[in-house]
């Protein structure tokens, strides 16, 4: 089989497509024939050695995929060969076949195609967990979503709207703001000048946002603490700006607000059944037309580096996928 391999930590340009043997699953794993794989910012971090987990060499990046089960480990009783699934192994999906622990599989509805399914875990799984379990978003509340045209941001816009929130989306260009609006945002802010605090306050009659979804960090986080509502929840999703911010404790005190971490990968490990419940809601929202996942780039396995480069340069709106 063909696989994109990382033999040492470094820039994505060092990755190469090579021929290797189809892997055999261990007792609690399955082997998936990959049809499509989502491309995400952490895929870049993991090959650079900057991610929380560092796989053993050689390994394939790629955290999520959709496909069919090719072979089963000895202990697998609840899945069948040929079954359509979403796989979330964390790495290994930029390949024609990949291994995945059974507890990180999601049975796939037949009416959702592989391409759409392949982009659901990292962005929609993260955003659902963030807004449902961590942010406890309520209908009628104001949700402020930063980086709203990116993968997790656009998913948060759609899920927030499906949950009945008033959604304010921020993005760096008018085009990206329009994409967020097309996917359900009620109001948008172009924050290319670096400022949004006063605009959010004016849009909320001075109250601020009840829930703030921040995958950017840096200066965006700093301003978010200054436009959060009383007893608001600031969700820490990631740091695509490159700077991990520090929170002035006095601001949390003055607003009686919560700063809440969102680590979806660990949540999947610890609470797989609740994660499955989230995905059932995601599937229902897709079927009802409340969620319309956006794929803005499709590449072959041989051209995976093009998608990774576009993500690093912030050129992707929604998601990019590798078609295998």
Domain locations in the chain as residue ranges: 2-119+294-323, 123-265
Q: Given pLDDT bands bounded at 50, 70 and 90, which one contains residue 289? A: very high
Reply yes or no on whether the pLDDT at 5 is more than 90: yes
CATH 3.90.180.10 fits domain 123-265? yes
Please tell me the number of Cα atoms within 13 Å of 32 on its side-chain side: 35
Q: What is the predicted pLDDT for the residue at 99?
A: 98
- CATH superfamily name and code, 2-119+294-323: Medium-chain alcohol dehydrogenases, catalytic domain (3.90.180.10)
Distance in angstroms (rounded) separating the CA atoms of residues 322 and 118: 9
Reply yes or no on whether the pLDDT at 52 is more than 90: no
Using N-to-C axis directions, what is the helix angle for 41-48 and 304-312, rounded to 10°?
100
Average the pLDDT over 142-153 and give the result. Answer: 95
Are the beta carbons of 15 and 307 closer than 8 angstroms? no
Look at residues 103, 34, 94, 35 and name the one whose alpha carbon lies nearest to residue 63. 94
> What is the per-residue pLDDT across 170-208, written as a single tens digit (0 to 9) for each?
999 999 999 999 999 999 999 998 899 999 999 999 999
Average the pLDDT over 288-294 and give the result. Answer: 94
Are the beta carbons of 92 and 104 closer than 8 angstroms? no
> What is the per-residue pLDDT across 15-47, written as a single tens digit (0 to 9) for each?
999 999 999 999 999 999 999 999 998 999 999
Distance in angstroms (rounded) separating the CA atoms of residues 123 and 199: 27
Q: What is the predicted pLDDT for the residue at 194?
A: 84
Q: Given pLDDT bands bounded at 50, 70 and 90, which one contains residue 54? A: very high
Q: What is the predicted pLDDT for the residue at 185?
A: 98
pTM (two decimals): 0.91
């Amino acid at each position: 089989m063909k696989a994109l391999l990382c033999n040492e930590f470094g820039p994505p340009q060092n990755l190469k497509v090579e021929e290797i043997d189809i892997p055999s699953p261990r007792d609690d794993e399955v082997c998936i024939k990959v049809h499509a794989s989502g491309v995400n910012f952490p895929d870049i971090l993991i090959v650079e050695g900057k991610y929380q987990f560092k796989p053993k060499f050689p390994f394939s990046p790629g955290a999520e995929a959709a496909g069919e089960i090719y072979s089963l480990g000895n202990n697998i009783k609840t899945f069948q060969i040929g079954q359509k699934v979403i796989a979330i192994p964390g790495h290994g999906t930029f390949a024609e076949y990949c291994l995945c622990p059974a507890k990180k599989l999601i049975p796939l509805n037949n009416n959702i195609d592989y391409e759409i399914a392949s982009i659901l875990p990292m962005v929609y799984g993260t955003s659902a967990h963030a807004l449902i379990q961590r942010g406890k978003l309520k209908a009628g509340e104001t949700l402020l979503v930063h980086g709203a045209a990116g993968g997790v941001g656009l998913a948060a816009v759609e899920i927030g709207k499906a949950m009945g929130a008033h959604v304010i989306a921020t993005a760096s260009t008018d085009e990206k703001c329009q994409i967020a609006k097309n996917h359900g945002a009620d109001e948008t802010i172009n924050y290319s000048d670096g400022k949004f605090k006063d605009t959010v306050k004016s849009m909320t009659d001075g109250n601020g946002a009840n829930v703030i979804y921040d995958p950017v960090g840096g200066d965006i986080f700093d301003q978010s603490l200054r436009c959060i509502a009383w007893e608001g929840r600031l969700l820490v999703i990631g740091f695509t700006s490159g700077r991990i911010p520090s929170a002035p404790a006095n601001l949390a005190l003055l607003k009686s607000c919560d700063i809440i971490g969102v680590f979806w990968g660990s949540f999947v490990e610890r609470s797989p059944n609740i994660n499955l419940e989230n995905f059932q809601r995601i599937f229902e929202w897709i079927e009802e037309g409340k969620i319309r996942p956006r794929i803005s780039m499709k590449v072959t396995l041989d051209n995976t580096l093009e998608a990774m480069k576009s993500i690093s340069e912030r050129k992707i709106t929604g998601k990019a996928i590798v078609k295998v």
